[in-house]
Amino acid sequence: MTDALERAEILFGRSRISYVVRRSARRSTVSISIDPDVGVLLAAPAHANGERLEQLVRAKAPWILAHMKGRAELPAARQFVSGETFLYLGRQYRLRVARSAGVGGVGLRGAWLSVDSHSGGNIRDLLVTWYRQHAEARLGDRVEAWSARLKMASPKLTIREQRRRWGSWASDGTMRLNWRIIQAPASLVDYVVAHELVHGRYADHSPAFWAALGRVMPDYDARRGQLRKLGPRLSW
């Protein structure tokens, strides 16, 4: 069962603090943190009182504002409605939603990312399914290409939804990639693929790791910086 999400905000002096509440029956206490994906996050028990949660945010407001100060402004929460923008391979598309009585479908049509959803269909779920399918096809091709360039066998690839990583390398030799990276330009997709493949030889980020990556991708540091800036836009 997926944890419930709620969005709310308070005014603290002249500052507006938006926050997300993630409720879970597995929790018995409330915690507050600054999440890179959603901003201010309260993890709370399923039946936690909303007013008490608001009081906690107010009590922690100085701490929240201090930790948010100097951070890049977090993008507004993505809305799954016509007119919202989404990225695919670095190009920006406008979402166009049409609801029908048939089976839902997603496709690129000119400058539009069109979603045809049956009545009551979940637009985000349809989009995630579409992105994952395209990630499986395109990322697989890039893994094969970079494996050949690195003179190593192509690993088994799985596409995951990871909150804090673009990819990882398992001890059994399986390479995991986050479907969200397919939103980024091809140069950044290649950075993530090559980065994870080099982890097949070097487990940590040692000087030897970066030297090996630099031999096949001399501009990796610039690509890494670009991905850090773009990353928040790819999380929804």
The pLDDT of residue 10 is above 60: yes
Helix (H, G, I), strand (E, B) or coil at 118: strand
Tell me: the pLDDT tens digits for 175-189? 999 999 999 999 999
Q: What is the band of 36 on the pLDDT scale with cuts at 50, 70, 90?
A: low
A 10 A CB-CB count for 36 gives 14
pLDDT band for 16, please (50, 70, 90 cuts).
confident
* Containing structural domain, residue 134: 128-234
Average pLDDT over residues 140-157: 95
Domain count, the chain: 3
Give the number of other CB atoms < 10 A from CB of residue 233: 17
Same-domain check for residues 57 and 139: no
CA–CA separation, 180 and 227 (whole Å): 12
Task: Work out the number of other CB atoms within 10 angstroms of the CB of residue 177.
Answer: 26
pLDDT at 4 over 80: no
pLDDT at 2: 42
- Looking at the structure, do residues 173 and 157 belong to the same domain, yes or no? yes
Q: Whole-prediction pTM value? A: 0.67
Question: What value does the mean pLDDT of the chain take?
Answer: 88
Asked if residue 149 and residue 216 are part of one domain, the reply reads: yes
Helices (H) and strands (E) in the chain, counts: 6, 11
Residue 1 has pLDDT above 50, yes or no: no
- The reply to whether 134 and 225 lie within a common domain is yes
134 and 228 inside one domain: yes
The pair of three-digit structure tokens given for residue 83, joined into one six-digit string: 């007119």
* pLDDT tier at 171, thresholds 50, 70, 90: confident
